[in-house]
Amino acid sequence: MIPVLEIGGTHVTAALVDLRDGSVTSRTREPLDADGDAEDILGTVRHCADGLSVPPGARWGVAVPGPFDYARGVALFRGVGKFEALYGMDVRRALLRGLRQRPGDVVFLNDAHAFLTGEWSAGTVRGHHRVVGITLGTGVGSAFLADGRICGNVPGIPPEGRMDLTEIDGHPLEDTVSRRAILARYGDPAADVHDIAERARAGEERARQALDGAFTALGAVLGPRLLTFGATALVVGGSMARSWDLVAPALSTGLAAGGWTPDDPRADANPLPPGAPECPAGDTRPGPGHASSAAARRVRAMKPACPEGDAALVGAARAAATRSQEQARVCMGRAGCK
């Protein structure tokens, strides 16, 4: 069992993951104030992690949003509206020294990469060779994956696979698609996104327009990237994706406008169109694929994340396991290594 943490803009989750079947147990979840001071944020993370029964010396996997130096474990949050107090802090060191059962190592992974890795290996997009994952929460997270590898810098997708670096009408994407953008568009300071969703379901046109405008715009800017990448599936997670009945219609409309029509029966059954970029061999390879005839038939599938919400936890566990395997290979190659 691999201990993991998923650190988000509003909550932190700790759990144990069994990669043999992707099962998640001993889950604990606590609210997290991303606008709090550094000690409050790290204290909440430590308290959540300490709720797990983990032997000392275990290797932890941690999914955390960017900007973040994942190799060093240093927070680089600035100008993103969350975790600003952690800027420049060595989070890896804080966890190594601060958890009740001292870890042997802590492996960090981008939360969107962890999410897509988990959905591809054990979730809703198993069997698809080229997939894209989007997380909708306080902002927009994204990841592009080809044959098990997370793609960072290939033609046709944003730098590092980050849709938040793209623009709509000359403005950053998250000025249109984010929690703050939807709240500003709606214009009621007493309402949060879940309130807007409830009002949209009740028939309020103003609420429906606030949501439709954001998700249609996201689809329109995302569609061309999916088309160029040769994606056969899009999986959407994050807190907003729980309102899939509201997200899906507007997002589908935008994707179609951008040239990638979900579940289009006229789409070419070949999942890799001419000129689609290859994923560099050096990018992360999280695990084996799972080919299926069902995936081949649904060549442009748009799906919500697994309702259990385990994908990022599974992805973080895979990152920790991969680090263990890499270190074992290095050790075996060294003379006298025990």
Q: What is the pLDDT of residues 237-281, one digit of tens each?
A: 998 999 999 999 999 999 999 999 998 544 443 445 555 555 554
Torsion, Cα of 135, 141, 146, 147 (10° steps)? -50
Per-residue confidence (pLDDT) for residue 9, from 0 to 100: 83
| E strand or H helix at 212 | helix 205-229
**How far apart are the C-alpha atoms of 3 and 63, rounded to whole Å?**
12
- Which token pair is 243? 């309102």
Query: How large is the average pLDDT for residues 87-106?
Result: 94
**How far apart are the C-alpha atoms of 75 and 92, rounded to whole Å?**
9
Query: How large is the average pLDDT for residues 12-29?
Result: 92
128 pLDDT exceeds 70?
A: yes
325 pLDDT exceeds 80?
A: no
Closest by CA position to 164, among listed 111, 121, 212: 111
The mean pLDDT value of the chain amounts to: 86
- Are 260 and 226 in contact by the 8 Å Cβ rule? The answer is yes
Long-range Cβ contact pairs of 190-196 (< 8 A, separation 24 or more): 193/239, 193/240, 194/243
Per-residue confidence (pLDDT) for residue 322, from 0 to 100: 85
Query: How large is the average pLDDT for residues 12-16?
Result: 95
CB-neighbour burial class of residue 288 (10 A; exposed 0-12, middle 13-18, buried 19+): exposed
- Which token pair is 68? 């973040």
Per-residue confidence (pLDDT) for residue 291, from 0 to 100: 40
**How far apart are the C-alpha atoms of 209 and 185, rounded to whole Å?**
9
pTM of the model: 0.83
Per-residue confidence (pLDDT) for residue 276, from 0 to 100: 57
**How far apart are the C-alpha atoms of 88 and 222, rounded to whole Å?**
32
295 pLDDT exceeds 70?
A: no
Per-residue confidence (pLDDT) for residue 275, from 0 to 100: 56
219-230: b or e for each residue (b if 16 or more CB lie within 10 Å)?
bbbbbebbbbbb
CB neighbours of residue 333 within 10 Å: 8
| E strand or H helix at 180 | helix 179-186
